[in-house]
Amino acid sequence: MAYFSALGLGGTAFPGLLWAQAQEQGSVTKEMLAGAEAVTGLEFTDEEREQMLRRVNRNLGSYKALREHPIPNAVHPALLFDPLLPGTVLPTERKEFRHTRPVGVARPSNLEELAFEPVTVLSELVRRRRVTSTELTRMYLDRLKRHDPVLKCVITLTEERALRQARQADAEIARGHYRGPLHGIPWGAKDLLTVEGYRTTWGAKPYEHQMLDDNATVVERLDEAGAVLVAKLTLGALAQGDRWYGGQTRNPWNPEQGSSGSSAGPASATVAGLVGFSIGSETLGSIVSPSSRCGATGLRPTFGRVSRHGAMALSWSMDKLGPLCRSVEDCALVLNAIHGADGKDPTARDAPFNWDPAVRPSQLRIGYLKEQFERERQENQREAQEADLAVLDVLRGLGAQLIPFSLPDDLPINAMRIILTAEAGAAFNELTMSGRDDELVRQEGWPNTFRVSRTIPAVEYIQANRLRTIAMGDLEARFDGIDVFVSPSFGGSTLLLTNLTGHPTVVVPNGFRENGTPLSVSFVGKLFGDAEALMLAKAYQDATDFHKRKPPQFV
């Protein structure tokens, strides 16, 4: 029974009676084994316990030896998750990347009027030299300084680096060397991405002064695209929630409310017009949730679509990086710049991203999560249900043929959360063992989860992953004949299931409550079908204006 590897009997991670007894007696006894069985839901006979004792006590030495070798957060396990099941064949044709170039855009008399414009507009002004990158960069830096005291969305301004990049962009464009639609556009990075010369705090007090002198792959690729990094933005401590060591990041539509998380700063800063776009991460809702709360347009790409090299690891089989923007097409522009293998993240792979903004809903095979759209909601959820149903009406009006779609309901999806719990406990094993987890602002959050992770039997972790394979096959079979399905953002098991299977999701605002805060809907694509999910979301967004509204306090 692999339970004792989870108990942490070779260290201080398990804070209960069994550990105290083992410390006192120097070894595990039959009585301790009997007590441990209650935690695992197993029961052995006295004879079986007697047989187990020698090996269990021998294992204690192995655990101690393992813990004597520190393992950096960046080191991945030898076991790698692949969302593609055997026999899956991905398209190989790569088409020319095309994007919308708006016409008639002009420089406003007040440059700050550009703060809320999408990248498609900003890039055209920069390309045509109506506005310089330096002007945009100074404008966004000023807004970051002015509004951060309310929103608490910034950990570190990268002002010197940003102005240097902006001047370089302006010089290159003046010489006729235009790199593409992100050239000269200011952006913000969730502060779990390494940037050489700047702190990478992970939003957590124990790492407040951490310097990791490397550039994350997404940072390097955005540098290559000519984008200008203006700030490292907040995240809930160790990528959970919106509370970090400096306070709580706020929702621009209601600063009395947190922005949700863990991509708290990217969502808040983007929606408040403090950056042109941002990069966040998601393990279980960390792009979808703050995008929903703040009204951002977010993309959680297919697992393996974007390299995570240089990003804090929380769950090696679930972590994903993606953009938070003001429009769907902005997300496509950013994904086009950052996707693909890099030889550093072993899960990242090359696959075509064939974006075509002209695709119409009638050209796609679209499912909708019928039960979740039609189920009876509680009174406080009626506004969300009305907004969700209105999405279906808009899509039908655009020529979409909507096919009823359902998710697997015969698998213990929620029970598979232990995969995240176990991997997160391993990722921050040394923090827990050192006792510095006491410094985190939410003790009921990760610190408690990390401790609980030590009670997960290794066998159950493997079993959960085997069930995950079954869930992957089930969902993939349901995608037969479907390119993308529409779902309430938190409908049923959608969020957890698709994070476990690695499917891409686009979340967009689809209305506002009476109190003025946003609502959202999600578009879920096939594996590496990010383009189709984005195409449908763009068609919906082009037919509505929710993404164009601005939080009044920050206009």
The whole-number average pLDDT for the span 243-250 is: 98
The burial class, CB within 10 Å (0-12 / 13-18 / 19+), for 59 is middle
pLDDT score of 264: 98
pLDDT score of 393: 98
pLDDT score of 67: 86
327 is catalytic: no
β-strand partners of 402:
366
pLDDT score of 11: 36
Catalytic residue among 262, 315, 489, 522: 262
pLDDT score of 396: 98
pLDDT score of 355: 97
Q: What CATH number matches the domain at 114-409+471-545, 3.40.50.720, 1.10.10.10, 3.90.1300.10, 3.60.15.10? A: 3.90.1300.10
The burial class, CB within 10 Å (0-12 / 13-18 / 19+), for 96 is exposed
The whole-number average pLDDT for the span 210-239 is: 98
Q: How far apart are CA 548 and CA 555, in angstroms?
A: 12
First to last CA, the chain: 60
β-strand partners of 211:
199
Q: What is the model's pTM?
A: 0.94
Give the confidence band of 230 by pLDDT, cuts at 50, 70, 90: very high
Place of tokens 């399905």: 485
190 is catalytic: yes
Radius of gyration of the chain (CA): 24
Q: Tell me the pLDDT tens digit for each residue of 385-421.
A: 999 999 999 999 999 999 999 999 899 999 999 999 9
The fraction of the chain above a pLDDT of 90, given in percent, is 87
Is it the case that residue 104 has pLDDT exceeding 60?
Answer: yes
Which has the closest alpha carbon to 450: 427, 474, 467, 417? 427
The whole-number average pLDDT for the span 47-69 is: 90
Q: 343 vs 22, which has greater pLDDT?
A: 343
Q: How many CA atoms lie within 13 A of 246 on its CB side?
A: 22
Catalytic residue among 152, 190, 232, 538: 190
Give the confidence band of 5 by pLDDT, cuts at 50, 70, 90: very low
Q: How far apart are CA 535 and CA 484, in angstroms?
A: 10
The whole-number average pLDDT for the span 235-258 is: 98
pLDDT score of 500: 98
Q: Tell me the pLDDT tens digit for each residue of 450-483.
A: 999 998 999 999 999 999 999 999 999 999 999 9
Catalytic residue among 286, 289, 307, 493: 286
pLDDT score of 22: 53
Q: Tell me the pLDDT tens digit for each residue of 415-449.
A: 999 999 999 999 999 999 999 999 998 898 999 99
Q: How far lies 104's CA from each of 130, 282, 483, 550, in Å?
A: 12, 37, 34, 22
Residue 481, number of CB atoms within 10 A of its CB: 8
Place of tokens 């590496």: 528
Give the confidence band of 21 by pLDDT, cuts at 50, 70, 90: low
pLDDT score of 60: 87
Is it the case that residue 25 has pLDDT exceeding 90?
Answer: no
**Count of residues in the chain:** 555
The whole-number average pLDDT for the span 254-273 is: 98
Is it the case that residue 338 has pLDDT exceeding 70?
Answer: yes
Is it the case that residue 7 has pLDDT exceeding 70?
Answer: no
67-81, 281-295, 323-337, range with the lowest pLDDT: 67-81
β 277-282/186-190 pair status: parallel
The whole-number average pLDDT for the span 370-382 is: 86
One DSSP character per residue, 276-303 reads SEEEEEESSSTTHHHHHHHT-EEEEPPT
